[in-house]
Structures are given as C-alpha cells and as structure tokens.
Amino acid sequence: MIVGLGNPGSKYSDTRHNIGYKVVENLAYKRKLNFNKVSTKYLLAKGKVNNFEFSLLLPLTYMNLSGEAVKEFYSKYNFLLSEMLVVCDDINLSVGKIRLRSKGSHGGHNGLLSIIEALQSTNFPRLRIGIGNNFEKEKQAEYVLSSFNEEEKPFINESIEKATLICDTFLEGGIKAALETYSKIQSVKKSNPTNKGVIK
C-alpha cells in the first residue's frame, strides 16, 4: 500500500505540506483509479498489479494525526509494514529533491511521527520530497501551509512525476525495485522540468 500525507480540503490542496497527497493522487490518475470515502479517517483507492490487490490511502485526519488513519487501516488488513510506502514533504531537502529510505526516524515530520507512534515502529519505507526551508524563525507552520512560487513549480512538478514513477515501481516489486528506480533517477543528469501543471 501507499500512503500520501497531507491535509484534506481545497484550502490546502496546493500547499507545500500536501506534496504527498499530490504524488498519490497522480499515481491514482495514471492507474485510472478513484478514491472513495470508506472511513471518516481516510480516502481509499484500490487496484491490482500482477494479480495482487494494492491500496492507495489519503488520510482525512489532518497531518498531525495521520497515524490514526494508518492504524485504522492497518488494524483492518494487518499487512507487513515493509509493504507500506509513506510519501511526504521534507523541509530538510531542497525544493524538488527526492529521498527514498526503507526505514528511519520521523526527521521532525509530524505526520511521520504520528504514524510511528501509532504503529510503534519505524520499519516502513518512506519517500520524501523536498519543499525547501526558506522561512524565518518560528514561521515553519506558515511556510509548509504556503504555496510554491512560480520559480519552484516546474521543479516540484518534475519531482511529482519522478516520485510517482518510484511509487508505481514499489507497487510492482516492493522496496527493492523502488530503490533501484530511485537510484537510476538520481544518476540521470537533471533534465528540463516537465511542468505538467500538477501544481497550478
């Protein structure tokens, strides 16, 4: 399964904090899947790959309580945590930079922290997308809830496409295959931004 972190509602749709939502929404679009509200805590889309069913989840609990949505889903389906990829933003990475890890700490991200506390484990893959950290002291909350500027949009849209490819590979072959795709993407010389209008 793949979880995209963010805040629900159009008010937050194009904010930096919702980049995880954007990637998973883009993946669902490419796979021609629709999200349904099957719980008060999350939206869910289901599909099949190689005759195996997979799930895409968007929490409706707001970022700081993401763990509640994931725990409810986990309690219902009881899957291996290594089979869950969490996609989120990261202020410690420059805008558009991508980082994939098979496990690790929350790194100061409240959504990841909530999931780690809810599941009592850090042993799940996470894909982080950089949103930069160009904010004044004590202005982090305002920054992550702001929109990308015009100069940043082409780079963040390109990173959404790359992250979507990594997620798609994860569905096909798990974290090992995803890490191979990630490695290839990292080694390719930076190309021109696609600017496909994911962030408007």
Dihedral-angle region of residue 179 (phi above 0 means left; psi in -120 to 50 means alpha; beta otherwise): alpha
Q: Is 106 a catalytic residue?
A: no
Q: Please state, in angstroms and rounded to a whole number, the distance separating the CA atoms of residues 145 and 71.
A: 25
127 neighbors 98 (Cβ within 8 angstroms): yes
Q: Which of 16, 38, 6, 31 is nearest to 152 (CA)?
A: 16
Annotated active-site residue in 16, 17, 22, 126: 17
Q: Residue 197's Cα: distance from chain center in Å?
A: 18
Smallest CA-to-CA distance from 70 within 29, 104, 39, 25 is with 39
CA gap 4, 62 in Å, rounded: 12
| 3-state secondary structure (DSSP) of residue 90 | strand
List CB contacts of 29: < 8 A, sequence separation 6 or more: none
Q: Could you list the active site residues?
A: 17
